[in-house]
């Protein structure tokens, strides 16, 4: 048994078996809250075709994705820190400093209001 066997055959088979067990054994009791669409942090107003949308939720989600992916780029450096020598370490430090400056500017510009998250503008 090689790693390729586990990657190509065993892992997908195990995933489908566990998914099938979940479908067969899980309790299925849908109610109104479970089947309703998620409305970005506030309850929908029934009877209206248009409602106000707070763009702040979208901005926070986009900024989270950007910074989450940039932090993800630091993981390979952390794993191979002994092999990349001082040059790779210095590049990682420069990257982390630029990331920190961007995060500070983001907070300073008010894109993430740390204290008033639910203000209505």
Domain boundaries, the chain: 3-108
Q: What is this structure's pTM?
A: 0.46
**C-alpha dihedral over 23, 29, 35, 39, to 10 degrees?**
-100
* SS3 category, 10: helix
Enter the CATH code of domain 3-108.
1.20.58
What is the rounded average pLDDT for all residues in the chain? Answer: 77
pLDDT digits (tens, 9 = 90+) for 22-59: 999 988 887 776 666 665 555 556 656 565 666 777 77
């Amino acid at each position: 048994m090689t790693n390729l066997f586990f990657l190509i055959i065993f892992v997908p088979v195990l995933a489908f078996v566990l998914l099938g067990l979940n479908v067969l054994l899980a309790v299925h009791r849908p109610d109104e809250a479970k089947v309703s669409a998620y409305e970005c942090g506030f309850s929908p107003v029934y009877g209206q075709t248009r409602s106000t949308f707070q763009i702040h939720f979208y901005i926070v989600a986009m900024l989270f994705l950007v910074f989450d992916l940039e932090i993800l780029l630091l993981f390979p450096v952390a794993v191979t820190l002994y092999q990349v020598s001082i040059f790779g370490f210095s590049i990682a430090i420069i990257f982390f400093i630029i990331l920190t400056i961007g995060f500070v500017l983001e907070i300073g510009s008010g894109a993430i209001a740390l204290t008033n998250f639910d203000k209505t503008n």
